[in-house]
Amino acid sequence: MSNVTIVKGSLFDAPKGSIICHACNCQGVWGSGIAKQFAQRYPHAYKFYQRMCREGGDLLGLCLLLDTGNHIVGCLFTSANFGSKVDSVPEILDATADAIGDLIWQNTSNKPIHMCKINSGLFGVDWKLTQEVLESYPEQEFTVWEI
């Protein structure tokens, strides 16, 4: 049995207090896709993310958790770049494994983890490959939202 449960609906409807994750680049840009929705809903988190990208050094493979009051935004740094410079699929999957490990390590309160189908939008990674990464952490439950 999988530790990944897929539900229909908006990620932003996840229960209050849970972690809601999305895949991020390391350039400080949430300009399209679900990242743009995060920027619009959580502008203070977006500004902090941008500052971390400017000042934070090598973020690839890490997770940045930002408490917004309603949710904790989980920024999974799975690609150094975006657009035509997005990392290769193997690089994204390696960074995803590291970022998920970092997320689990930081989640000391065992808050529920919710996410969209990370990497499968603008980063162009087949969802099944990312799901395999999530399933490599069998001790952690993930709820994945799809519209």
- Summarised one tens digit per residue, pLDDT across range 74-103 is 999 999 999 999 999 999 999 999 999 999
Report pLDDT for 97: 98
Q: Given a cut of 90, is residue 57 above it in pLDDT?
A: no
Q: Given a cut of 90, is residue 27 above it in pLDDT?
A: yes
Q: What percent of the chain has pLDDT over 70?
A: 100
Q: How far is CA 39 from the centre of its chain?
A: 13
Report pLDDT for 56: 77
Report pLDDT for 147: 85
Amino acid at 70: N
3-state secondary structure the chain: CCCEEEEECCHHHCCCCCEEEEEEECCCCCCCHHHHHHHHHCHHHHHHHHHHHHHCCCCCCCEEEEECCCCEEEEEEEECCCHHHCCCHHHHHHHHHHHHHHHHHHCCCCCCEEECCCCCCCCCCCHHHHHHHHHCCCCCCEEEEEC
| Strand-pair partners of 6 | 144
- Token duo for residue 55: 């000042």
Q: Calculate mean pLDDT across residues 52-72.
A: 94
Q: Given a cut of 80, is residue 45 above it in pLDDT?
A: yes
Is the pTM here over 0.85, yes or no? yes
110 falls in which pLDDT band (50, 70, 90)? very high
